[in-house]
């Protein structure tokens, strides 16, 4: 859009430069002639300055558009795995597509992890597998306790992201962590309003739960789209981490609507690579190859 504005300005100035009867020349000339009609060179100077600045502005806007396009083409949706299971995390990591891990108290409990020492050891083990961010959720529900627990979690590893529930004290805690440069993931988000608050508080990630919305007959994907629109309207840098993704189409649709990250268990991630025509095609290729080789 800015290119259009600058382009029109450029064209207008360009034409004015060569069309001596133009409005611009008339304005510039009359202004200066009112002061001193004996300085004809001033006219040209004004037009030259406007002409050159328009040229620079046009060049700048073209560069901005080109660089923006390049930046967007390098942007990709990150894949996080939604589990505390070390074997699953390793498998996803070995596939070469893993960008991070999300956990929650239920997922930790599912792996039988309890007690501070075990929890610490487990998060460290996860950080040892992935090169990406690892969300570790606070159990505390008051601001003061969340700050203490979150700071302790953040100290465990530089890639730990403190996961905080979207409640009043949680919002305050996110603001505090953000002021201290501690990364946060605002979890249990079910509305665009909650996502807006998380962004204003400076959350690194916001986790809208698409599967749980679908469970109650509400389209989870629409929430992702709404948050994308809101964040893009104002340039919020909080990353949309689509959570509670339960099947491969959740992942594909998240990519369609522009989620920054999707987190899903191993099964839906692996299911993405399955297609019966791929399997049938491969079986046929191998059978034909064996036949030709006389096997």
- List interacting residues with ligand E4P (CB under 6 A): 82, 102, 104, 187, 207, 209, 211-212, 243-244, 246, 263
Rounded-to-integer distance, Cα 185 and Cα 187, Å: 6
3-state secondary structure of 170: helix
- Measured from the CB atom, the residue of 110 and 121 that comes closer to ligand E4P is 110
3-state secondary structure of 47: helix
Shortest distance, position 137 Cβ to ligand E4P, whole Å: 7
Residue nearest to ligand E4P (CB): 244
Shortest distance, position 52 Cβ to ligand E4P, whole Å: 54
- Measured from the CB atom, the residue of 16 and 99 that comes closer to ligand E4P is 99
- Measured from the CB atom, the residue of 202 and 211 that comes closer to ligand E4P is 211
- List the one residue out of 192, 200, 186 whose CA is nearest residue 228: 192
Query: Strand 205-208 and strand 184-189: pairing?
Result: parallel
**Range list of H helices, 96-219:** 105-110, 116-129, 143-156, 168-179, 192-201, 210-215
CB 79 within 8 A of CB 31: no
Shortest distance, position 241 Cβ to ligand E4P, whole Å: 7
CB 262 within 8 A of CB 205: no
- Measured from the CB atom, the residue of 61 and 83 that comes closer to ligand E4P is 83
Shortest distance, position 286 Cβ to ligand E4P, whole Å: 37
Please identify every residue annotated as catalytic: 163
- List the one residue out of 55, 41, 45 whose CA is nearest residue 12: 55
């Amino acid at each position: 859009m800015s290119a259009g504005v600058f382009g029109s300005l450029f064209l207008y100035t360009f034409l004015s430069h060569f069309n001596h009867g133009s409005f611009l020349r008339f304005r510039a000339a009359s202004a200066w002639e009112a002061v001193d009609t004996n300085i004809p060179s001033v006219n040209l100077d004004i037009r030259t300055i406007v002409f050159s600045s328009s040229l620079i502005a046009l060049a700048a806007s073209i560069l901005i558009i080109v660089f923006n396009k390049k930046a967007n083409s390098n942007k990709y949706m990150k894949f996080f795995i939604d589990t505390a299971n070390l074997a699953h995390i390793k498998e996803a990591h070995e596939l070469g597509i893993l960008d991070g891990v999300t956990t929650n108290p239920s997922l930790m409990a599912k792996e039988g992890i309890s007690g501070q020492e075990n929890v610490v050891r487990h998060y460290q083990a996860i950080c040892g597998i992935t090169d990406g961010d690892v969300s570790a959720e606070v159990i505390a529900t008051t601001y003061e306790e969340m700050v203490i627990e979150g700071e302790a979690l953040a100290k465990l590893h530089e890639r730990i992201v403190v996961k905080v529930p979207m409640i009043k004290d949680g919002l305050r805690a996110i603001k505090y962590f953000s002021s201290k440069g501690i990364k946060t993931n605002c979890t249990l988000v079910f509305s665009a309003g909650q996502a807006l608050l998380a962004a204003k508080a400076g959350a690194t990630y916001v986790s809208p739960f698409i599967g749980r919305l679908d469970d109650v007959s509400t389209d989870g994907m629409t929430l992702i789209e709404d948050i994308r629109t809101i964040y893009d309207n104002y340039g919020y840098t909080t990353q949309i981490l689509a959570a509670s993704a339960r099947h491969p189409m959740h992942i594909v649709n998240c990519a369609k609507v522009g989620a920054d990250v999707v987190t899903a268990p191993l099964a839906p991630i692996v299911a993405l690579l399955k297609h019966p025509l791929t399997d049938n095609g491969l079986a046929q290729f191998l059978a034909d190859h064996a036949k030709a080789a006389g096997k």
